[in-house]
Amino acid sequence: MGGDYAPDEILAGAVQAQAELEADVILVGDPETIAASLEKQGLTTDAQIVASEGVIDMHDEAMSGLKRKPKASISVAMSLVKQGEADAVFSAGHSGASMAAALLRIGRLPGIERPAIGAIMPSAIPDHPLLMLDVGAIVDCRPRYLEQFARIGTIYSKYALGVESPRVGLLSIGEESSKGNDLTLKTHQLLKENAQIPFAGNVEGRDVLSGNFDVVVCDGFVGNILLKFAEAVGDVMLQLCQEEILTDLDDTTKATLAPRFKRFKQRVDYVEHGGALLLGIDGICVIGHGSSKAPTIYNGIRLAKDAVERGVIDRLREAELVTP
């Protein structure tokens, strides 16, 4: 029920995911609204519908909104995961409410003080994605939070993204250990001393997507700005490619280049990634853009399904995340 284009686009993406991904989708929301949207779009589905009451609007403060609307769709969805009736949650609604509901209903993993939103981004190396966290959950971080993000990121990169030996970087204004603000200076020391973290040093903004790092940690304020800037750059690149390269080509040449352009789009378009994972809670939660449309919803469900099938939560539980 959450998102700029809810419920129509949410349902269109969910129905496609159920049909193509072999995923059992549970639709949480107002049954009458869901039925009307499905009928309007000519969609049919045997997905289970679980009733909820109310939605946390984007202008609501997350925690107070959840208290005023205890049966809101995001709370009900998180409860399904807690009760073992669902394996994962996807939401394109209020991201703050999603995080708060996850903490209230599902809880944190042992040893984790704050969750982080982890975004999977493309890199300069094909089929070599980057995990960056935090990109918006905690805007004011302490060094030990970033240390915990690095531990979570290392495990997720290894077992969910298939990186055999993840390299962790700390986002800063210079490669030297002496560069940065108080947060990065203290975090650098913690990461260097923690034998459980494969710390590869500081990473500058220009090197984030170089492929030299598999996990990049930062506070949520900086991470959110960097993520949205990267998404904007991807949009501009696609636009420029269309305007400057493809516009004046004949149909035969366009057809020849179409597969390459499709692969290019898949690598730089954030729609293809579906959303970001809320890491550090004791369950799988994927948070999508408020502007998500059906393709993003589909990819977000695919991302959640992959995390479930790879046993990410079990790996995190087994990792003894309590800082030594």
Residues 282 and 115: their CA atoms lie apart, in Å, by 10
- Could you tell me which residues come within 8 angstroms of residue 40 by beta carbon, excluding any fewer than 6 positions away? 8
Name the phi and psi angles at 132, rounded to 5.
Answer: -120, 130
pLDDT for res 324: 46
Q: H or E element: which one contains 159?
A: helix 143-159
Name the phi and psi angles at 61, rounded to 5.
Answer: -75, 135
Q: Which of 282, 290, 286, 294 is nearest to 319 (CA)?
A: 282
Q: Can you list the domains of the chain with their CATH numbers? A: 1-112+280-324 (3.40.718.10), 118-272 (3.40.718.10)
CB-CB contact of 311 with 91 (8 Å) = no
Residues 161 and 153: their CA atoms lie apart, in Å, by 10
Residues 91 and 22: their CA atoms lie apart, in Å, by 19
Strand bridging mode 130-133 / 215-217: parallel
Total-model pTM: 0.86
Predicted confidence (pLDDT) per residue in 104-159, tens digit: 999 999 889 999 999 988 888 877 889 999 998 899 999 999 999 999 999 999 98
Residues 52 and 236: their CA atoms lie apart, in Å, by 39
How open is the CA angle 289-257-261, to the nearest 5 degrees?
15
Token reading at 172:
């800063």
Task: Tell me the three state secondary structure of residue 204.
Answer: coil
> What are the pLDDT tens digits along the chain (324 aa)?
988 999 999 999 999 999 999 899 999 999 999 999 999 999 999 999 999 999 998 888 889 999 999 999 999 999 999 999 999 999 999 988 999 999 999 999 988 999 999 998 888 887 788 999 999 889 999 999 999 999 999 999 998 888 989 999 999 999 998 999 999 999 999 999 999 999 999 999 999 989 899 999 999 999 999 988 888 887 787 787 777 777 777 878 878 877 776 776 666 666 666 788 999 999 999 999 888 899 999 999 999 999 999 998 988 888 766 554
Q: Which of 256, 254, 230 is nearest to 242 (CA)?
A: 254
CB atoms near residue 107 (< 10 Å): 13
Sign of dihedral through CA atoms 313, 290, 213, 193? Answer: negative
Name the phi and psi angles at 203, rounded to 5.
Answer: -130, 130
Q: Strand pairing partners for 194?
A: none
Predicted confidence (pLDDT) per residue in 179-218, tens digit: 999 999 999 999 999 999 999 999 999 999 898 999 999 9
Residues 152 and 131: their CA atoms lie apart, in Å, by 11
CB atoms near residue 17 (< 10 Å): 24
Q: H or E element: which one contains 203?
A: strand 199-203
Name the phi and psi angles at 70, rounded to 5.
Answer: -65, -20
Residues 123 and 180: their CA atoms lie apart, in Å, by 24
